[in-house]
A = this chain, B = another copy of it.
Amino acid sequence: MNPRDWNTRANDRAARLARAERALAERGTPLAGKRVDAAAIGTLLEAVLEPGDRVCLEGNNQKQADFLADALVALDPARVHHLHMVQSVLALPQHLDVFENGIASKLDFSFSGPQGARIARLASAGRIEIGAIHTYLELFSRYFIDLTPRVALIAAQAADAEGNLYTGPNTEDTPAIVEATAFSGGIVIAQVNEMVDGRSTPLPRVDIPAGWVSFVVQAPRPHFIEPLFTRDPAQISEIQVLMAMMAIKGIYAGYGVQRLNHGIGFDTAAIELLLPTYGESLGLKGKIARHWALNPHPALIPAIEAGWVESVHSFGSELGMEDYIRARSDVFFTGPDGSLRSHRAFCQAAGHYACDLFIGSTLQIDLHGNSSTATLGRIAGFGGAPNMGADARGRRHASAAWLQAGREARAGRSGAAGTPRGQKLVVQMVETFREHMQPAFVERLDAWTLQEQTGMDLPPIMIYGEDVTHILTEEGIANLLLCRTDEEREQAIRGVAGYTAVGLARDRRAVENLRDRGVIRRPQDLGIDPREATRNLLAARSMRDLVRASGGLYQPPRRFRNW
């Protein structure tokens, strides 16, 4: 019997690299170090890819390896097929074109955003086999266990002649992808916006060492990047102001929340914009919201300028915030070049283990408190919310907020459930009716139907009722930590569900009883006069105000400007 070869992956990498070198030379565009001519990208990909390969095409929340995506789509499916794509975000049409044209067949991902409807169509047509839908950190984790990429196609700002990479402010997923691939006999191909020689012009900083990178190609145009985290204050409604007041006074102040993550949306933008006005009037500066795991939200600028924010660690960056971040290096994690060092994997870990509160929005909440953004005919994915919006049961360090939430959850319980333990605050903030008068509260989540339609193992629930601690609507706050039975929980939810069918079906006596116990609190119970909830309370009421607050450092993308 021949002895087993235990280094097949390393040998296979060497063979693929040699194949690429040969193919590029034959094409008349030989490798220059690790540098590949952009016109030869198809040749490179055909040389290094094999049918069935597990491939990570860097699709982040923001930056996109779009040149490499185009090149992948253009390959001959007779030669490259059945790829198994493992990438966090499907943002570009190309991300699905590879399934439509037969290049790829299997998909493990986290979030699909605008491509959700097309994924659902392709899946039901049998063109995509979906492995699973993950929260971000979970997908990165699997890169090191059972979904290790064989080939990673990534994006960076610049490379030097050796192949060191500078990601600029949008480092995002890159370190996790590259580390898993490079140290497992895989191949890393980076598209970059610019090349520097590295000696007379060094990179502004090195984010990824050259030794981890196999090939570099300068793309003919800068990689695509999406400003996902910008919300125009002009679109914040007075109902959102009211809800933000309740969040600040009823939850942030009530628990003394110092470390937190905000989901993106106008609701949470309203909270950010009320900190230096309403929050200040309550004397909360320095007492709440000091440390953030957050992309650099422009709506946070007034709070930063007013001295509320001590630190922000970021998953990714946000277009237009570059100069502002550079000028506020005490607050943001930046490199010696002055630009942000984001890192989605570490920031998700921080959101999970070092934050006391997650607050976000959802589309539907059921009577158990389960919530979901799944809608029929769309497979939208989870992104980061399940990780941030789950009780971090492995956490062992205490904070006042975490201890108080734990005490409320466990008071009067016995056995294992009564053992003292902290708990993460997980807040769902929703208006009772969404746009087109769709109720946010439902008897049954669409997620159940979607599960039936797609044959998923479980309904795609974003945040489980067992993990959510508060539901906040314009009608009030339901504190689910204090509920002791299924019935109480149901009435607490009905009790803040307003004029939705779920809300109207409340047991009025039970709800009043919950209010007496402080399980439900109305604005007036919190000492909030809804008439004071006006847009005048917002520290910025327009994009222009945000620019002004930043001293002109924030430069919003054109689409957000009307001046």
Contacts and interface: CB of A to CB of B under 8 A. Distances in A.
A464 B6 CA distance: 40
A562 interface: no
Contacts of A329: 6-7, 9-10, 185
A205 to B, nearest CB: 5
Contact of A133 (B144, B350, B397): B397
A33 interface: no
A137 B349 contact: yes
Interface residues on A, range: 35 or more
A329 B393 CA distance: 34
B390 A145 contact: no
Contacts of A341: 179, 183
Interface in A448-499: 457-461, 464-467, 486, 489-490
Given A8-B330, A397-B138, A416-B466, A345 B349 contact: yes
A315 to B, nearest CB: 11
Contacts of A205: 209, 211
A346 interface: yes
A527 interface: no
Contact of A420 (B353, B382, B414, B459): B459
A interface, over-half SS: loop
B466 A417 contact: yes
A132 interface: yes
Contacts of A392: 138, 390, 393
B464 A419 contact: yes
A554 to B, nearest CB: 14
A16 interface: no
A134 interface: yes
Copies in the complex: 2
Most chain B CB within a 10 A radius of its CB, from A392, A397, A418: A397
A313 B143 CA distance: 10
A336 B547 CA distance: 48
Contacts of A310: 146
A321 B10 CA distance: 19
B293 A135 contact: no
A467 B393 contact: yes
Contact of A141 (B206, B349, B422): B349
Interface string A503-520: 000000000000000000
A121 interface: no
Interface in A410-448: 414-422
Contacts of A346: 140-141, 144, 176, 179-180, 345
Contact of A394 (B8, B137, B142): B137
| Minimum-distance CB pairs A-B, first 7 | A415-B486, A416-B465, A132-B397, A390-B393, A206-B209, A390-B394, A141-B353
10 contacts: A141-B352, A145-B291, A145-B311, A145-B313, A146-B354, A179-B346, A183-B334, A209-B209, A369-B416, A396-B460
